[in-house]
Amino acid sequence: MNSAYAMGLPGGGGGGVAGGDFSFIIMMAVLFGIFYFLLIRPQQKKQKDIKEMIAHLAHGDLVMTSGGIQGKVVALTDTVVTIEIADKVKIKVARNFIGAVLQKAP
């Protein structure tokens, strides 16, 4: 005789299984809500703000690249920003690598 069949189900039978399924669904919905409001939503807002900041770059803005280089915007194209980091020293950087606008042009 197999002892696994003789042990039976824990808890005295199969009753109460449907209530467990409903509470599991509620718990998962609550966890998803917490993740959405604490992780997903703030990240989407931050990405939107960065995209807007990059779209509104202008000549004369003081910017910092994601690598930490600071300089003044002297030329703009759709994909490239030319930054003057010292007198007569200019570098070209992809727009996506502009990390922050430190000061808007007057």
Give the closest residue to 81 by CA, choosing from 69, 70, 96, 66.
Answer: 96
Distance between CA atoms of residues 106 and 90, nearest Å: 21
Mean pLDDT, the chain, whole residue set: 86
- Model pTM? 0.63
Distance between CA atoms of residues 10 and 20, nearest Å: 15
- Which domains are delineated in the chain? 17-103 (2.30.30)
SS3 14: coil
> What does the pLDDT look like over 45-61, one tens digit per residue?
999 999 999 999 999 99
Q: Is the pLDDT of residue 9 over 60?
A: no
> What does the pLDDT look like over 28-41, one tens digit per residue?
999 999 999 999 99
Q: Is the pLDDT of residue 1 over 90?
A: no
Q: Is the pLDDT of residue 10 over 80?
A: no
